[in-house]
């Protein structure tokens, strides 16, 4: 059914692109979250010192 005219390859390619996009988005969200946590920790440390 889907094997006709290489349609299965198109479906596989679309799924791969979607999964890659989700992975990249998660990587950038993780990067920004770590950066925010580090900044928050620095702020909390500065309040303890003062």
Among candidate residues 38, 44, 21, 40, the one with its CA nearest the CA of residue 13: 21
Confidence (pLDDT) at 6: 82
Confidence (pLDDT) at 1: 56
> Residue 43 has which token pair?
């702020």
What is the extent of the structural domain holding 39?
4-49
pLDDT digit string, tens, across residues 1-50: 556 778 888 999 999 999 999 999 999 999 999 999 999 999 998 887 76
Task: Give me the torsion for CA of 44, 48, 49, 50, rounded to 10°.
Answer: 100
Confidence (pLDDT) at 27: 98
Contact at 8 Å (CB) between 12 and 21?
Answer: no
Q: How many domains does the chain have?
A: 1
Confidence (pLDDT) at 24: 98
């Amino acid at each position: 059914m889907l094997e006709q005219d290489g349609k299965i390859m198109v479906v596989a390619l679309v799924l791969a692109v979607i999964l890659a996009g989700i992975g990249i988005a998660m990587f950038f969200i993780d990067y920004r979250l770590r950066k925010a946590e580090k900044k928050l920790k620095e702020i909390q440390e500065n309040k303890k010192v003062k």
